[in-house]
Structure 1
Amino acid sequence: MLTVAVLISGAGSNLRALLEAAAEPDYPARVVVVGADREADGLAHAEEFGIPSFTVPWREFTSREEWGDELGTQLDVWKPDLIVLSGLMRLLPPSLVARFTPRIINTHPAYLPEFPGAHGVRDALAAGVAQTGASVILVDDGIDSGPVLAQERVPVLDSDDEHTLHDRIKPVERRLLIDVVRRVATGELELAAARRPLTPS
């Protein structure tokens, strides 16, 4: 059984979808802990499902590296096979990525490498494209620059604003995440084989 740690910053809608999938007896992975960089609303999902949680508040540290060191210490307690960044709005420091690579994956509401960064949906609308998408990637030490593990196109409608487009991307993002975790658990997807060498820090 694959053990999974999920890291969040906000409401945790992807987290909830993964928790619901993992509650099914035939799903080959289990969430063992949920972490956050603040008092995130999504921690309530962990409580509802009886999953332990921890918080490593970003503001309590003087540098990203110190924050990452403490986050790594918390993750080491649970020794997860896989770490899922699910709306974590902080870039992990290279030292933490190197410590856990290639066991960290991330979801993104765009068809990478198109529209990386924190405003992928907004940027797609601003660019006037006819389609965007959702992606699940292997995390490296860049911004949404790791190898793509799964992705799917989502059309942009003339009537779309940022909210409506994101609402149509989210279900695709969740489905891709659940499938990627399943394939990692069954050995169908080997993260080490997907890994590219990390950029030297």
Structure 2
Amino acid sequence: MNNVIKKGLSLQEAKQAIILVHGRGATADSILSLSSHLNLTDYAILAPQANGNSWYPFGFMASDEGNKVALTIALEMLHQVFAEILDSGIPASKIVLAGFSQGACLSLEFAARNAQKLGGVVAFTGGLIGEKLRADNYSGDFQQTPVFIGSSNRDFHVPASRIQDSAALLRQMGAEVTVKLFDDPDHTIRAEEIDWVNNHIFI
């Protein structure tokens, strides 16, 4: 795929892989800079690029109808990247999905719509997508996949209540979910979040 930037080991060399998903207004290149802070020495790293630098036009809790077309395209792109990794011989249990902000939301949404044993899901400020959470959008069993969601407890874009509701739904689907909410107003990725995922997922 021409709109996917690759870094780290090749898919043929690697035994595990990560899909890094950028946020609104950002780029695949920008999210790849995060990889130098994560323990990804043995990983193939793939970062898809959204058209117009945005995966869907409105907020992740806006009208389902407004985001529907773009979200469908975005999820299909992740599906294609995921399938390319599987085709290379790396199993789903060795694939991690990770993203920031809009990319975190998309990572969680894709994982929940295709729940299975994964290497992990890392959501730096994100929740499941939708005007309301609808369990019938999701299917499968995470089989104790580790899921991390970190954010401000008062993030302007991602309400803590949606994070907790998303975590509860993911737990019902068999995920081992860790939520860390920080007492600051910052829309960012914190050193404490990096440390946690390096010690619990990228090990």
TM-score range, shorter chain: 0.3 to 0.5
Q: TM-score, normalised to structure 1's length?
A: 0.45
Provide the TM-score with structure 2 as the length reference.
0.45
Q: Which has the larger radius of gyration?
A: 1
